[in-house]
Amino acid sequence: GGATETVIPGKTGELIPSQSVSAFAQALKDFDAQKYSTQILQKHAEKFSESNFSQQLWQVVGEGLKHAGWSHT
């Protein structure tokens, strides 16, 4: 995971094209907080909540166990 998997450019943030001071400074100059919807930001952030993470993790573990022939009964 990382920024490229969690940031939706123009909707939930911006990706800086290179790791340089000048690119970061330009991104700060170009930043316009008013173009972001708090509702979209909140909905997107909820995808990364502890409960969603736990649910998705257990789903993957369960599928892996099933595929390996394990049974919980």
Q: Who contacts 14 (Cβ-Cβ below 8 Å, separation ≥6)?
A: 7, 27, 30, 31
Rounded to whole angstroms, the Cα distance separating 8 from 52 reads 19
Give the H or E element holding residue 25. helix 21-30
- 41: confidence class by pLDDT, cuts 50, 70, 90: very high
In the chain, at which residue ranges do the beta strands (DSSP E only) sit? none
Asked whether residue 31 carries a pLDDT value surpassing 80, the answer given is yes
2: left (phi over 0), alpha (psi -120 to 50) or beta: left
Q: Mean pLDDT, the chain, as a whole number? A: 91
